Structure 1
Amino acid sequence: MQEGQEIDKKALTFLRDNKNTDWNELAKDCVSFANANGGKILIGIDDDASEPVSSQTIDEKWLDTIRKQVSQRTYNVSVTPQLMTAANGGQYIEVLINRNAQSVAGTTDGRYYIRVSDESKPVLPDELLRLAADKNALIWEEQTNRKVPKTRADNAQYRQFLADVRASQRVSRFIKEKSDDEILEHYLFVKGDYLTNLGILWIGQRQDRATLLYAPVIQFIKRDDREEKVNKIVWDDYYLNPKELLQAVQTEIPDWQEAVEIPDGLFRTSVPNYDIRVVRELVANALVHKSYTVRGDIFINLFTDRLEIHSPGLLPLGVTPQNIISQSVRRNNQLAQVFYDLGLMEKEGSGYDLIYETLLAEGKSVPMVEEGNDRVVVTVYRRIIRSEIVRLVRKANEEYSLRQKEVISLGLIAQYSSLSALELTKRLDIKEAQGVRNWLGRLPELGLVESKGKTKATEYHINPAYLRRLNYKGKTDLTKIAPHRLRELILTDLEIYQPAPIRDIHERIGKEISERKVKRQIDALIDEGTVVKIGVNNHTRYSLSQNLSNNQQMVERDQING
């Protein structure tokens, strides 16, 4: 039981006494859960423990105290504290916080928070409107303001949906055994005698779907090497529900069939220009996370070197381009559930894992996510960075049946020849060393990855012995250069170009070397007096010390005089 998006833990020492307990901290956490997906706060379990001390007992008076203190410090927050007994007999308090789907929760002193991963993040003033808009999106799914009777459902789509639910391996037997009307109610397709907006979107007739604000429209545009339009397909007639739209994108665009062949010993391996699994997941994400209260089409722009997916609206609050692989927030909760239950997308939080795994196993770079003023753009590049990586990852996967995170880590390290623990944490949005070990999994034990150094300076690289066994023909670069050789490169550079800023030194001696490595060696040279630092901040320059410069000048003068 680890802290995360829906669970937080506090040691029993948190409940010191009514006067000294930090109730404002508890109120903040309750607000953050209410504004996200709801959650639980477990009081009486340490952060690094999965259960309380077996002898621990808690007075029931704290339940009313917690309920009272939270209600006095928050608004639009509903909590239910209850005394729980763990399997080992120890007691703890579980504070259940309900998700607030219709309004924004806050503290009585005017502060707003939202749960992001295992932290309660403050909501900034300019983000407050986004939070409110996401709440409206949740209400949108269940609204019946169109007053469309459920008897007006499109018969073919109605029957197909029920058949899909009952055939899905992701739907429990309990749901499958419900009546037709009960299944529609379970997925919030109907409310009373009317179809909800979600119901209209999925099983409504064309004319009713067309009047929704705003039913999805998808445009596919292909451009040549001069970026001139050469093909366009538009699905804007509202005949198709989201599942049918996704299927149309996969089957009606012939470009997904194109691939390149790369040598693999006596054989050749076919690598698609754009893997259909990546396309499906990105388009499904665009449909699921689209803001249905904002006008805008979904664009699929295909260039000669890249694929761009444009989705109207911004990322849900708490998700950023940097943490998109590790953080997932549902904007349209029920629509996302339908997509998952019908097998149209990966489960919450694992869609981008699949995208990363697929692209890295194909020797390609990870997707680039950008957030503009009114849309999110995800770019996937066609180019295979190194064809050897495809063979490396495929052979390792065949031999050891690698897990998804292991494939991602192996692909990243292979692409960059070596990566430090710090660089891995940035690229995968990992917050601690334990997280790096979880992503690497069995790679070190299997002898696929080796490391050197300690803590954040630890560097990971592919085991040379394994590369030799595969006859791996990668490129030689300076990423693993020894410190004494890097030092000589820096001194040689400064002899010619002093004084110089670190960015210029770094660029001249090799961009593949981590700038952090270069800075560490320069600092060491400064400490021993070989190099001096001139200026501050952006004007900082580095030069050889005066004595060394004079010696160099004497050597050059002697060489000239012969």
Structure 2
Amino acid sequence: MITLDDLARWMTAPTEDERLEFKQAQNQFDTTKLVNYCCALANEGGGYLVLGVTDRPPRRVVNSAAFRNLETTKLLLLQYLRLRIELVELAHPDGRVVVFCVPSRPIGSPIATNDTYWMRSGESLVAMPPDHLQRIFAEGVPDFSSSTCAGATFADLSSTAISRFRQFWETRQPARVPRSDVQLLEDAELIDDGAVTYAALVLLGASRAIGRHLACAEIVFEYRNNESSIAYDQRVELRDAFLLIDDELWRLVNLRNTVHSFVDGLFRRDIPTFNERAFREAALNAVCHRDYRHQGSIFIKQSPSALEITSPGGFPPGITVENILTRQSPRNRRLAEAFGKCGLVERSGQGADLLFETAVREGKTPLDYRGSDVFQVRLTLHGEIEDENFLRYLEQATRDAGRSLSVWELRVLDAIRREHPIPAGTASSVRELVDLGLIERAGKKRLVLSRKYHQLIGTPGAYTRKAGLDRDTNKALLLKHLSVNPGAPLSDLCEVLPSLSADQVKTLLKELKRQGLAHSEGRTRAGRWFSTTGSNRT
């Protein structure tokens, strides 16, 4: 049940988000708009439409007289949207508030009114674009890899690939490996009542069988000595059981895989342009999560400093560039489970966290998905070390911490280094890094890499610029300003230390006052500050 406490929390939110919409509706609210807003909220995963509250901060209750008959309104919404929307009337001290509790649309089924699928864009409602619709419709599509392939038989599977699958299984679960190949594949759910699944074809299918039943299950490797060149220097088309070509793919990449020697004092570390574990994980992800209903092939394009992997179909439903490190949604679950059972990939993950961690630990650009859209996912693995100083710092930080840094801690460090916003959900990692002395707080909200980092790389000036001057230096600047400009208001003193908030400047002034170095006359905005240096006044 929605309460006044919930309303108070919503009203202090910085802005309307995907799940919350405020409207004044003091006298009335157009019924068509009501239906369309509820439609848009449902299409975006559900949320709340609040009538009787101003939409911009600071929000206030203005009393709404709209939709006095809640039961009639609920019935109308059910008739238009086929959704059971709950209505809650709140008696706020400043007036009546009506909350429409909108549930999410069904999986795979967007909701339309008057043949339009609505979504919100800023303060307006707009028709949902085709790529959004396609992602929603894809949610309801069954797992393609678990469906059986008409006409395919056990004879279409490679005995060599099955033997390798058995070896992988024995390594992980030696006591549970069935004796017969048929039983092995049935236990792995690659055969369903004797019928061969598409997952079995991708993983174990013979070349001719794949060409006949699933020709798009092909990986094309191209090498260009010049990344911008249209013509390739080498091209290899691989259409066979994935378990028979995964090593060949790495061999092709490794043929031209140069090694960078990184020296940190007495420590020496060789860093290959392309990390084998990262490449294998990226290739597995492309095979696991591509859309096999699209007839295109997976392309792996290598150049001296970059490796680009493009797979047909956009991201799986629910996955975006922004949340790929924290959400899992395998498009081909049966295939992903088979990879997991033989130890090639973790069933629960997208592998993006491993790719991110590897890139950051090697001082490279992490997770570059530029070029991805609703039709394809394009991942670029960059081979160049872009920041040796940061790499040197990570090596030292790992030694100082006495343990490896987690992927969440690496996310925080990388974001601070790039001066990007701190990722959501990393508060505990921030605290741990502060405790370890790897990062420091600069003011109430800012974080910077520690003084130790800038000393290590020889840029103490950059630390001072980012972290701000130390406390004593800040107070000295305030006193110097007051000696030249007696009677300065707080606003002027804030300009002396622009990197600090007004509250932080007030704290420094109070310290000066306690030390007998400054005093104030007047209160609030009319207050003025004076230096007591050389004066008998206290």
What's the offset of the Cα at 1:480? 0.7
Return the match for 1:149 from 150, 153, 156: 153
> Conserved in 2, the CA contact under 8 Å of 1:364 and 1:383?
yes
Return the match for 2:406 from 392, 404, 407: 404
Q: Distance in 1 between matches of 2:441 and 2:354?
A: 26
The residue aligned with 1:129 is: 134
Cα deviation code 1:81-124 (max 9, x no counterpart): xxxxxxxxxxxxxxxx9x97xxx3567989999xxxxxxxx987
Q: Distance in 1 between matches of 2:112 and 2:267?
A: 68
Instruction: Give the aligned length.
Output: 384
The residue aligned with 1:206 is: 207
What's the offset of the Cα at 1:74? 7.3
The residue aligned with 2:315 is: 315
What's the offset of the Cα at 1:148? 2.1
What's the offset of the Cα at 1:272? 1.5
The residue aligned with 2:428 is: 438
The residue aligned with 2:337 is: 337
- Name stretches of at least 5 consecutive residues in structure 2 with no aligned partner: 5-34, 46-77, 84-103, 119-126, 474-494, 503-538
Q: Distance in 2 between matches of 1:368 and 1:300?
A: 15
Q: Give the match's secondary structure for 2:309.
A: strand
Assess, with a 3 A threshold, how the Cα gap between structure 1 residues 254 and 177 changes in structure 2: closer, same or farther: closer
The answer as to 2:460 corresponding to 1:463 is no
What's the offset of the Cα at 1:397? 1.8
The answer as to 2:261 corresponding to 1:261 is yes
Cα deviation code 1:365-392 (max 9, x no counterpart): 2221132352221123233222122221
The residue aligned with 1:185 is: 186
What's the offset of the Cα at 1:201? 2.3
The answer as to 2:443 corresponding to 1:453 is yes
Instruction: Give the superposed CA RMSD.
Output: 4.5
Cα deviation code 1:331-380 (max 9, x no counterpart): 11111122223222345336111111111111122221132352221123
Assess, with a 3 A threshold, how the Cα gap between structure 1 residues 204 and 349 changes in structure 2: closer, same or farther: closer
Assess, with a 3 A threshold, how the Cα gap between structure 1 residues 272 and 142 changes in structure 2: closer, same or farther: same
The residue aligned with 1:424 is: 421
Assess, with a 3 A threshold, how the Cα gap between structure 1 residues 108 and 480 changes in structure 2: closer, same or farther: closer
The residue aligned with 1:473 is: 458
Q: Distance in 1 between matches of 2:227 and 2:257?
A: 22
> Conserved in 2, the CA contact under 8 Å of 1:310 and 1:377?
yes
TM superposition score normalised by structure 1: 0.57
The residue aligned with 1:197 is: 198
Which residue identity does 1:409 align to in structure 2? R
Which residue identity does 1:276 align to in structure 2? E
Which residue identity does 1:436 align to in structure 2? T
Cα deviation code 1:18-48 (max 9, x no counterpart): xxxxxx9xx9999999xxxxxxxxxxxxxxx
Cα deviation code 1:198-250 (max 9, x no counterpart): 222223332222123344222222222473345324233x3x32233322211
Q: Give the match's secondary structure for 1:148.
A: coil
The residue aligned with 2:359 is: 359
The residue aligned with 1:287 is: 287
- Name stretches of at least 5 consecutive residues in structure 1 with no aligned partner: 1-9, 14-23, 34-69, 76-96, 114-121, 486-516, 525-562
Q: Distance in 1 between matches of 2:144 and 2:333?
A: 11
Q: Distance in 2 between matches of 1:475 and 1:255?
A: 42
Assess, with a 3 A threshold, how the Cα gap between structure 1 residues 28 and 165 changes in structure 2: closer, same or farther: farther
Q: Distance in 2 between matches of 1:218 and 1:367?
A: 21
Once the two structures are superposed, the pairs formed by residues 382-393 of structure 1 within 5 Å of their partners are 382-393=383-394
Q: Give the match's secondary structure for 1:444.
A: helix
Q: Distance in 2 between matches of 1:413 and 1:315?
A: 24
Assess, with a 3 A threshold, how the Cα gap between structure 1 residues 373 and 144 changes in structure 2: closer, same or farther: closer
Which residue identity does 1:302 align to in structure 2? Q
Which residue identity does 1:382 align to in structure 2? G
What's the offset of the Cα at 1:474? 5.0
> Conserved in 2, the CA contact under 8 Å of 1:140 and 1:197?
yes
Once the two structures are superposed, the pairs formed by residues 488-527 of structure 1 within 5 Å of their partners are none
What's the offset of the Cα at 1:279? 1.2
Q: Distance in 2 between matches of 1:147 and 1:29?
A: 45
Assess, with a 3 A threshold, how the Cα gap between structure 1 residues 465 and 148 changes in structure 2: closer, same or farther: closer
What's the offset of the Cα at 1:393? 0.9
Which residue identity does 2:314 align to in structure 1? L
TM superposition score normalised by structure 2: 0.60
The residue aligned with 2:246 is: 246
Q: Distance in 2 between matches of 1:268 and 1:348?
A: 35
Give percent identity, aligned residues only. Answer: 22
The residue aligned with 2:236 is: 234
Assess, with a 3 A threshold, how the Cα gap between structure 1 residues 248 and 183 changes in structure 2: closer, same or farther: same
Q: Distance in 2 between matches of 1:523 and 1:447?
A: 24
Q: Give the match's secondary structure for 2:331.
A: coil
Assess, with a 3 A threshold, how the Cα gap between structure 1 residues 393 and 183 changes in structure 2: closer, same or farther: same
> Conserved in 1, the CA contact under 8 Å of 2:220 and 2:297?
yes
Which residue identity does 1:200 align to in structure 2? L
Assess, with a 3 A threshold, how the Cα gap between structure 1 residues 263 and 521 changes in structure 2: closer, same or farther: closer
Which residue identity does 2:223 align to in structure 1? K
Which residue identity does 1:405 align to in structure 2? V
Q: Distance in 2 between matches of 1:211 and 1:359?
A: 39
Q: Give the match's secondary structure for 1:450.
A: strand
> Conserved in 1, the CA contact under 8 Å of 2:413 and 2:449?
no
